[in-house]
Amino acid sequence: MEKPTPPGTFLHVAGARPNFPKLAPVYDALRRRGAPQFVVHTGQHFDDALSGVFFRQLGMPAPERNLGVSGGSDSEVIARIMLEFEAVARSIDPVCVIVYGDVNSTIAAATVAVKLGIPVAHVEAGLRSRDRSMPEEINRIVTDHLASVHFATSSDAVENLAAEGITGDGVELVGNPMIDTLLLSMERFDAGALRRDLQLPHEYATVTVHRPGNVDTDEDAREIVEAVHGVADLVDVVLPVHPRGSARLRSQGLEKHDRVHVVPPLGYLEFMGLVRESRLVVTDSGGVQEETTVFGVPCLTLRPNTERPVTITHGSNQLVGRENVVRAATRVLAEERGVSVRPPLWDGAAGERIADSMNRRFPHL
């Protein structure tokens, strides 16, 4: 049994590194309002480089419970999280379960909570790539149709929800809590030590790849490696390698280029410092598209679509295929770096808006 928790407890669920910078400002804002809270880490990203270091660097206490669920297919992970999370949710009886983003932890916790009659609030609701081959797209859609409260980061997300019949008081445009964390941490970002260790020149590119469509087959990995090597012909490349796809990318010769610097996963502060000082970023990550938008760093997204079109309309992000990433990189490197233009409400106060809304909807005193 879990230790007794006060009435009106908000139960946060996170499982992967993209969740933690979104959770931190919401947790902090609710803490300042005296709201009782309980954080469950599902264990989806379990090692220190992908998990523990984020909590320390973001100034958050360790999660009250870690379910330790990792490894296996999407269905296996979701099922195991549901089984473990149900016991926690029953013992706490929270006033609301707050889920973040679009990972397997999100859909698993939302499903359990609804079955138990517990309201669900979805932070980062309404994002759509319209590509159902992406596991994250299924997670987004199902979670939004289970949730009763939807916190949207951008106006297109609100429109997406409305198109699916999700409207009314349960939908709020609050801005992007991940950008709260980014802005709050800005003065601590520093890639100096890493740049010295790698002997990087003044201009370099940061590359991240981890999505199934890019790394789950030898053919995909080989094409990605060819694209990375093509970019490295133009500028030094730093690639913090994600556990997903690491072995396959390396087997296809990722490190067989003198200007490709492969490094282990980085902490939040180190990675953001690296991105901020980059001349160019090539990625398949959704969050990195948003972060480069705030930094004003040119971003080439190695995907045919994005659930974050605001990074294209308001930022320097563009979608590219593997076959034309080198051509796009050549063009970007020949241009002057653009000016950062933040989307509406990406002002560092999203966590405050979410906390105010939660207090109105679920009084805890």
Query: Residues 139-167: pLDDT tens digits?
Result: 999 999 999 999 999 999 999 999 999 99
- Tokens representing 141? 């859609």
Write down the pLDDT at residue 364. Answer: 58
Q: What is the mean pLDDT of the chain?
A: 92
The answer to the question of residue 261 being in a domain is yes
Predicted model pTM: 0.94
> What is the spatial distance between Cα 51 and Cα 48, in angstroms, rounded to a whole number?
5
- Tokens representing 76? 């296996």
Write down the pLDDT at residue 44. Answer: 66
Q: Are residues 206 and 157 in the same domain?
A: no
User: Cα separations (Å) of 347 from 178, 236, 272, 351?
Assistant: 11, 33, 18, 10
Query: Residues 252-275: pLDDT tens digits?
Result: 999 999 999 999 989 899 999 999
Q: Are residues 145 and 201 in the same domain?
A: no
Question: Quick one: average pLDDT of 134-142?
Answer: 96
Question: Quick one: average pLDDT of 41-60?
Answer: 70
The answer to the question of residue 89 being in a domain is yes
- Tokens representing 313? 């309309």
Q: Are residues 144 and 22 in the same domain?
A: yes
Q: Are residues 165 and 45 in the same domain?
A: yes
Does residue 99 have a pLDDT over 50?
Answer: yes
Write down the pLDDT at residue 9. Answer: 96
**Cα atoms in the 13 Å half-sphere on the side-chain side of 125:** 31
Q: Are residues 164 and 229 in the same domain?
A: no
Write down the pLDDT at residue 49. Answer: 46
From 12, 202, 210, 314, the catalytic residue: 210
Question: Quick one: average pLDDT of 320-341?
Answer: 90
SS3 state at 352 = helix
Q: Are residues 308 and 238 in the same domain?
A: yes
Does residue 172 have a pLDDT over 50?
Answer: yes
Q: How many C-beta atoms surround the C-beta of residue 55 within 10 A?
A: 20
65: which strand partners?
40
Question: Quick one: average pLDDT of 5-29?
Answer: 92
Q: Are residues 80 and 150 in the same domain?
A: yes
Does residue 47 have a pLDDT over 70?
Answer: no
Check if 364 is active-site: no
SS3 state at 136 = helix
The answer to the question of residue 54 being in a domain is yes
CATH value at residue 267: 3.40.50.2000
End-to-end CA, the chain: 25
- Tokens representing 325? 């990433």
Q: Contact at 8 Å (CB) between 220 and 213?
A: yes
Q: Are residues 54 and 167 in the same domain?
A: yes
Question: Quick one: average pLDDT of 17-26?
Answer: 93
Which of 62-71, 127-136, 299-308 has the weakest average pLDDT?
A: 62-71
Q: Are residues 20 and 91 in the same domain?
A: yes
The band of 337, judged by pLDDT with boundaries at 50, 70 and 90, is confident
Which of 96-105, 215-224, 227-236 has the weakest average pLDDT?
A: 215-224
Q: Are residues 267 and 293 in the same domain?
A: yes
Domain count for the chain: 2
Q: Are residues 113 and 242 in the same domain?
A: no
The answer to the question of residue 4 being in a domain is no
Q: Contact at 8 Å (CB) between 301 and 284?
A: yes
The answer to the question of residue 2 being in a domain is no
Q: Are residues 154 and 196 in the same domain?
A: no
Q: What percent of the chain has pLDDT over 70?
A: 96
306 lies in which domain range? 188-334
